[in-house]
Amino acid sequence: MTVQIDHALEEIRRFRPSPEFAAQSVADPALYEAARADRLAFWADQARELVQWEKPFTRTLDWTNPPFAKWFDDGELNVAVNCLDRHVEAGLGDRVAIHWEGEPGDSRDITYAQLTDEVKRAANVLESLGIGSGDRVAIYLPMIPEAVVSMLAVARIGAIHSVVFGGFSSDSLASRIDDAEASLVITADGGFRKGRVFPLKPVVDEALAKTEGGTVRNVLVVRRGENEIEWTEGRDLWWHETVTDASNEHVPSAFPAEHPLFILYTSGTTGKPKGILHTSGGYLVQTSFTHKYVFDLHPETDVFWCTADVGWVTGHSYVVYGPLANGATQVLYEGTPDTPHPGRWWEIVEKYKVSILYTAPTAIRSFMKLGRQIPQQFNLRSLRVLGSVGEPINPEAWIWYREVIGGGSIPVVDTWWQTETGAIMISPLPGVMDLTPGSAQAPIPGVEVDILTDEGEPVDGENGGFLVITEPWPAMLRGIWGDPERFKQTYWEKYGEKYFAGDGARRDEDGDIWLLGRVDDVMNVSGHRLSTTEIESSLVAHPWTAEAAVVGASDETTGQAVVAFVILKASQVSHITDPNDASEELRKHVAVQIGAIARPRQVFIVNELPKTRSGKIMRRLLRDLAEGRQVGDTTTLADTSIMEVISAQVR
Ligand code: WTA
């Protein structure tokens, strides 16, 4: 009996690509063989094939000063030219680059020729504002074509963009502007979300009032929401009065492969976000390589849709740089999945005949909750590859995605990577491998990973351990903006020249890699990284708070959810009649301080926090409480009875 069940499980556990899919697949096993035979020669070949170099490189990798890598460093290129001009020159100017869909239902199709023109115009405006090579430009925009245009215009002139997700607060924006010393902010009056206009320019005004550096000279404003905004003469400029009228002649310069391309802030284990720095050549090589092979891209016929916002790394690598470098046609959607109706995404898939869809498990799980009758109202037969990113995808969600969205026969690729890695690192290549639901399976060709014990020994058998990347890779981060020490400490201190990813992982008996989530104080809520410490600092900044502890509790839809435990100041307790009011106030406070994505699901007002004798908060016990579990071992607590007191207050 047992044998039979095992056998049945074995059968559904792996999915073989269909013979038709395998026959047309762009990837083949030779990629793995070539990379295994000579990793650096493999990447050099990819770099020559996928990227147009103004000056060819002769050196592939310089790793003489770890952890500071240089890839293709004597080569020169222009990243924007690779994403635009070269396709137009190759006769593809009329191909649609972007099918843009606004939330209210307005839409625009933008060809490669039009996108190239618009980027040249924007580049001219940036230069007329005194922005040049190496200058930082903050971008705070909704998901409108101008977001892509802005990023590429910045790249075209060798400046460095720092895109800040439109859901972040003025405080978060201000600290990012100050840290990068940005001289220009590109924003919009507002954008559409959940059927309403959310203001952006007013947040920029607030942020600029808070910045300490005073580095911003101009604010370039796209008109989108038509909401009322204030205007600072001399500083603020309308996009439609500057870019639209600018010349579409712009001669690009070539920049060294290691020229910085962008800074993207991400949460770390401290309260201060890290400005992850990426450079040009290696980043473009690996984003275009992975976009082509992981998604089996056929640029002449495919319509690609990555649902990520450009404010996150997924939007950088798989909305902007990878797809455009590959000359792909893609969908860009401004709004939320359920506006104005819960079938909106599937309506878009049907409308544009999307063939490759790349999204996050949290979205898939919320669609599962709504039920299959919603996607089933639409024609999804154009889909042929499905991708997942951002957090571990549970096998149930993987299977549902394949069955209900993919019609039961198309590949699902689970892709593991990070802001720091710049591009996909662990993922099956569809058409080449059998697929295992729930597992990211294997490093892509040219990437080497391992799973180590705390002491740095490879783990044996199926035991879990810490994921490391053992060899430098082209799209790797080059540092943390302005903080080389933190870069070394965070990623390279634990295992020397092996990159410490901060994720747990294990290998199953087939050698497939399963990601097990973060091993540090970083939470993953709806595929977004949030720092426990950052939210705790925000909570204690509120005048009512004496102490706060935050944990990431598992959540059916969002993967993890922020749950906070707060002790109020004694001086406040008497004024607050209902603890629910305090919880609500503190939840709002975090949303205002950091952004709505960081708003705790719950704030429990308690009298005590569980601490060890040395005063360290035992978050593990709070997580047990937040997840409604039996509280674990309390023997190391200074006061072992404390958990009972807290449990009673939480109920
Ligand atoms: C998690 C997003 C499991 C992981 C591209 C990582 C994943 C963090 C997966 C990076 C996956 C991302 N399976 N976990 N397929 N993809 N993660 O920087 O914990 O926003 O360290 O980059 O997300 O998040 P980031």
Instruction: Name the phi and psi angles at 554, rounded to 5.
Output: -65, 145
Specify the pLDDT at position 267: 86
Specify the pLDDT at position 348: 98
Percentage of the chain lying above the pLDDT 70 cut? 98
Check if 552 has its Cβ closer than 6 Å to any atom of ligand 1.
no
Helices (H), 78-129: 79-83, 85-87, 112-128
In this structure, of 14-28, 42-56, 522-536, 567-581, the range with the lowest mean pLDDT score is 567-581
Average pLDDT over residues 147-160: 98
Tens digit of each residue's pLDDT (9 = 90 or more) over 430-464? 999 999 999 999 999 999 999 999 999 999 878 89
- With a CB cutoff of 8 Å and minimum separation 6, the contacts of 449 are 425, 426, 443, 467, 468, 469, 470, 513
Average pLDDT over residues 134-163: 98
For residues 350 and 352, give the distance between their C-alpha atoms in angstroms, rounded to a whole number: 6
In a shared domain, residues 486 and 542? no
- Domain tally, the chain: 2
Confidence band of 646 (pLDDT split at 50, 70, 90): confident
Q: Which two tokens stand for residue 627?
A: 């997840």
Tens digit of each residue's pLDDT (9 = 90 or more) over 482-528? 999 999 999 999 999 999 999 999 999 999 999 998 888 889 998 88
Specify the pLDDT at position 12: 55
CA–chain centroid gap for 608, Å, is 36
Structural domain including 176 reads 19-491
Average pLDDT over residues 42-46: 98
Does the residue 508 lie in any domain?
A: no
In a shared domain, residues 448 and 559? no
Find the 414 Cα to ligand 1 centroid distance in Å. 10
Q: Which two tokens stand for residue 495?
A: 């295992």
In a shared domain, residues 207 and 252? yes
In a shared domain, residues 434 and 553? no
Specify the pLDDT at position 521: 84
Ligand 1 atom 6 nearest Cα = 418
Specify the pLDDT at position 614: 76
User: What's the first-to-final CA gap in the chain, in angstroms?
Assistant: 44
In a shared domain, residues 487 and 527? no
Tens digit of each residue's pLDDT (9 = 90 or more) over 267-289? 887 778 899 999 999 999 999 99
In this structure, of 7-16, 398-407, 569-578, 602-611, the range with the lowest mean pLDDT score is 7-16
Does the residue 338 lie in any domain?
A: yes
Check if 502 has its Cβ closer than 6 Å to any atom of ligand 1.
yes
Domain boundary among 441, 470, 491: 491
Q: Which two tokens stand for residue 192?
A: 């559409």
Does the residue 3 lie in any domain?
A: no
Specify the ligand 1 atom closest to the Cα of 515. 3
Does the residue 10 lie in any domain?
A: no
In a shared domain, residues 480 and 364? yes
Looking at residue 15, its amino acid is F
For residues 319 and 100, give the distance between their C-alpha atoms in angstroms, rounded to a whole number: 12
Specify the pLDDT at position 645: 86
Of 317, 413, 515, the residue with max ligand 1 atoms within 8 A of its CB, to mutate for a pocket test, comes to 515
Cα dihedral sign for 498, 503, 509, 511?
Answer: negative
Check if 314 has its Cβ closer than 6 Å to any atom of ligand 1.
yes
* Neighbouring C-beta atoms of residue 546, cutoff 10 Å: 14
Does the residue 147 lie in any domain?
A: yes
pLDDT at position 58 over 90? yes
In a shared domain, residues 89 and 234? yes
Tens digit of each residue's pLDDT (9 = 90 or more) over 319-339? 999 999 999 999 999 999 999
Task: Please give the full DSSP string across 174-203, using - where no structure is assigned.
Answer: HHHHHHHT-SEEEEESEEEETTEEEESHHH
Average pLDDT over residues 166-191: 97
Strand partners, 101: 107, 333
Specify the pLDDT at position 137: 98
- Confirm if 583 and 604 have CB atoms less than 8 A apart: yes
For residues 600 and 560, give the distance between their C-alpha atoms in angstroms, rounded to a whole number: 11
Specify the pLDDT at position 2: 34
Check if 386 has its Cβ closer than 6 Å to any atom of ligand 1.
no
Average pLDDT over residues 615-624: 87
Where residue 184 sits, what CATH number does that domain have? 3.40.50.12780
Cα dihedral sign for 600, 604, 610, 616?
Answer: positive
CA–chain centroid gap for 180, Å, is 19
**210-235: b (≥16 Cβ within 10 Å) or e:** ebeeebbebbbbbbbbebebeeeeee
Check if 60 has its Cβ closer than 6 Å to any atom of ligand 1.
no
Average pLDDT, the chain: 94
Ligand 1 atom 23 nearest Cα = 390
Specify the ligand 1 atom closest to the Cα of 415. 15
Residue of 59, 75, 262 lying closest to 156 (CA atoms): 262
In a shared domain, residues 179 and 103? yes
Distances (CA, A) of 456 to 384, 459, 468, 521: 41, 9, 10, 21
Confidence band of 1 (pLDDT split at 50, 70, 90): very low
**288-318: b (≥16 Cβ within 10 Å) or e:** bbbbbbbbbbebeebbbbbbbbbbbbbbbbb
In a shared domain, residues 74 and 123? yes
Does the residue 372 lie in any domain?
A: yes
* Neighbouring C-beta atoms of residue 639, cutoff 10 Å: 12
Where residue 530 sits, what CATH number does that domain have? 3.30.300.30
Cα dihedral sign for 180, 182, 186, 192?
Answer: positive
In a shared domain, residues 425 and 553? no
Does the residue 14 lie in any domain?
A: no
- Confirm if 92 and 75 have CB atoms less than 8 A apart: no
Question: What is the 3-class SS of 150-170, one letter each residue?
Answer: HHHHHHHCCCEEEECCCCECH
Q: pTM above the 0.75 mark?
A: yes
Check if 290 has its Cβ closer than 6 Å to any atom of ligand 1.
no
Does the residue 500 lie in any domain?
A: no
In a shared domain, residues 576 and 469? no
